[in-house]
Amino acid sequence: MSFSTFHIVSFITSTGFGAASFTEWPEAVGFLLIITGYLGGCAGSTAGGNKIIRNILVVKMLNNNFKQLLHPRAIFTIKYQGSPVKDDVLHAVMAFMTFAAGSSMLFTLLLMFTGLDFWSAFSAVAACVNVLGPGFGEVGANFAPVSDAGTWILTSAMLVGRLEYFTVFALFTRTFWKQ
Q: Which residue has the higher pLDDT, 81 or 9?
A: 81
Whole-prediction pTM: 0.85
For 59-111, what is each residue's pLDDT tens digit? 999 999 999 999 999 999 999 999 999 999 999 999 999 999 999 999 999 99
pLDDT at 134 over 70: yes
For 29-48, what is each residue's pLDDT tens digit? 888 888 888 887 777 777 77
Q: Which residue has the higher pLDDT, 171 or 61?
A: 61
pLDDT at 125 over 90: yes
Q: Output the pLDDT for position 112.
A: 97
Q: Which residue has the higher pLDDT, 12 or 66?
A: 66
Q: Output the pLDDT for position 60.
A: 96
pLDDT at 1 over 60: no
Name the pLDDT band for 18 (thresholds 50, 70, 90). low
Say how far apart CA 177 and CA 32 lie, in whole Å. 40
- Across the range 109-127, mean pLDDT stands at 95
Cα–Cα separations (whole angstroms), residue 151 to 104, 129, 135, 156, 166: 15, 13, 14, 9, 22
Find all residues with CB under 8 Å of 159, minimum gap 6, and list them. Answer: 168
36-66 per-residue burial string, b: 16 or more CB within 10 A, e: under 16:
bbbbbbeeeeebbbbbbebbebbebbeeeee
- Helical ranges in 21-178 per DSSP H: 27-39, 52-70, 87-113, 118-129, 148-163, 165-170, 174-178
SS3 assignment, position 125? helix
Say how far apart CA 93 and CA 99 lie, in whole Å. 10
Q: Output the pLDDT for position 24.
A: 74
Say how far apart CA 165 and CA 103 lie, in whole Å. 9
